[in-house]
Amino acid sequence: MSRAANYFAWQGRLVAPELGQRVIEVGCGIGNFTGMLLDRETVLAVDIDPACIERLQQRYCNRPNLHALVCEPGSAAFANLVRWRADSCVCLNVLEHIEDHRRALQAMAEVLAPGGAIVMLVPAFQNLYGPIDRNLCHYRRYSRKSLANLAQVTGLAVETLHYVNAVGFFGWWMNAHIFRREAQSETQIRIFDRCVVPWLSRLEAVAPPPFGQSLFAVLRKP
């Protein structure tokens, strides 16, 4: 998906308006989304993979507002981020990789200043779970109800919660249950990004669909 420029731009249009000036990016990887945040006052990019952090630092060198470190939600190093008084946290397609997602979400909330937002994109609908999910080390997929319940038990208020990418819902289902694909198809990604995303993103900006491949959420700390 790193080559899907239209899809990443769509993510940016969804997420960026919900973020403040002091942002924690959980699961930054090699920084594909980080570049969209560098107009902010402070970006704290964290990942559990030292190689990813090294690549990100090389990619965005000489950026005084970017601070990258190896840690994960729930660790002591992550808890120390509270001193930055971040006003927002972004977590894109990461929470499904964490076995104890309640603990991880609680850790994100604890390092935010009061009133801060956690902005997330997670895979939707457990019945879409298939070989690709297993190979990507996904523990689960989410519904509006399951994510709302998770927010409630961690003391977060649901501000926004809606499905994204209705077309991708059918593509993922076919890959999981008909084609039984073990990995995402480069051809499928290319066609989807070039031919579907430009019109689908505009349509869903007007009317969010009742189902989708992903679930977009903004959770607010009291």
Kind of pairing, strands 42-47 and 22-26?
A: parallel
Q: Residue 3: its pLDDT value, please? A: 74
Sheet holding 66-70, edge to edge: 66-70, 42-47, 22-26, 86-92, 112-123, 214-220, 157-164
Structure tokens at 82: 């509270």
Q: Residue 1: its pLDDT value, please? A: 62
Cα dihedral: 102, 104, 109, 111 (round 10)? 150
Dihedral sign from CA coordinates of 23, 28, 34, 38 = positive
Closest CA to 40 of 105, 83, 72, 88: 88
Q: Residue 4: its pLDDT value, please? A: 87
Q: Residue 104: its pLDDT value, please? A: 98
Q: 63 and 40 in contact (C-beta within 8 Å)?
A: no
Q: 188 and 171 in contact (C-beta within 8 Å)?
A: yes
Q: Residue 108: its pLDDT value, please? A: 98
Q: What pTM value is reported for the model? A: 0.95
Q: 204 and 157 in contact (C-beta within 8 Å)?
A: no
Q: 94 and 26 in contact (C-beta within 8 Å)?
A: yes
Location of structure tokens 């997929």: 141
Q: Residue 187: its pLDDT value, please? A: 92
Per-residue pLDDT of the chain (222 residues; tens, 9 = 90+): 667 899 999 999 999 999 999 999 999 999 999 999 999 999 999 999 999 999 999 999 999 999 999 999 999 999 999 999 999 999 999 999 999 999 999 999 999 999 999 999 999 999 999 999 999 999 999 999 999 999 999 999 999 999 999 999 999 999 999 999 999 889 999 999 999 999 999 999 999 999 999 999 999 999
